[in-house]
Structure 1
Amino acid sequence: MRYIRDYNLEYGPDRTLPYMIFVISNIGLTLFFYNSNVFYWTLGLIAAPVFIAFVGMIINFFWKISAHMLGIGGLVGGVLSVCFNVKGSNPMLLFAILFVLAGLLGVCRLYLRANTAAQVYVGFIIGFVLAYASVFGGLLLMLSYLK
């Protein structure tokens, strides 16, 4: 149907449609869980991909960012926030495995020359920070309603 120029999505505007489909579908998922009255920190964990993908889409208009690293950074940030802020635990083995996997993914993106080092690092950091903040913000919101 010629919506995109190539399957590698090298051209920036070609990546907008996949981002929009992802954001809209995850907004629907977040609203479903919101209406199901789940804990707000869980809702923050579910809403984190919406924030990450939306920010990635906005950055995509100006600069190519690694969507793969946005995702793995979001996974690491969400798990870290749940473990430290919600459960109060410190599973070092899990964190070590996740960081090694994130590092391997970053190396693969660099090896394939799909992204530059800056795109990989910035993607991971943005994904990590947004997911961590989303879960932490949901926890703070939940605690404010309990008072």
Structure 2
Amino acid sequence: MFKKILLPTDGSGYADQEIDRVTKLIADDGEIIILSVAGKLTSSAFQSRKNVRRVNKGMLDEAKDCVAAMKSKFPKGYNIRTMVKTGFPAETINQVAVDEEVELIVISSSGKSGLHKFILGSVAEKVLKTAETDVLLVHND
């Protein structure tokens, strides 16, 4: 059993499988940290500061909604803390894992392949390759 598990979410709809794994692996007195990482745009010659602020606020609000939605799906009785950060998802997930001294990261893979995966990249794959913490990859089709 793990004392502290990091559960990153992007709101993609794979919460049920992730929650099932986490509830089986967390110690009775353990803590679950639900994390969502919001991107952050910077202004440029092509974007006004006002538009960039609006988009950044929207991404931050969406991240807050993601962690709240994930937390609401857990059965009662679990020690859950939510966290929202801005940055690059894989790097931020791994940094939070180190900073919070988690024992396990539980992250899902969408099962995408081919061109779709190439274009979008894979946060889960980057986390797996660069994490200093153990990672459980939950495969979703």
TM-score, normalised on structure 2? Answer: 0.32
Q: Identify which of structures 1 and 2 has the higher relative contact order when contacts are C-alpha pairs closer than 8 Å and 6+ apart.
A: 1
Larger strand proportion of the pair: 2
TM-score, normalised on structure 1? Answer: 0.31
If you compute each CA radius of gyration, which structure gives the higher value, 1 or 2? 1
Larger helix proportion of the pair: 1
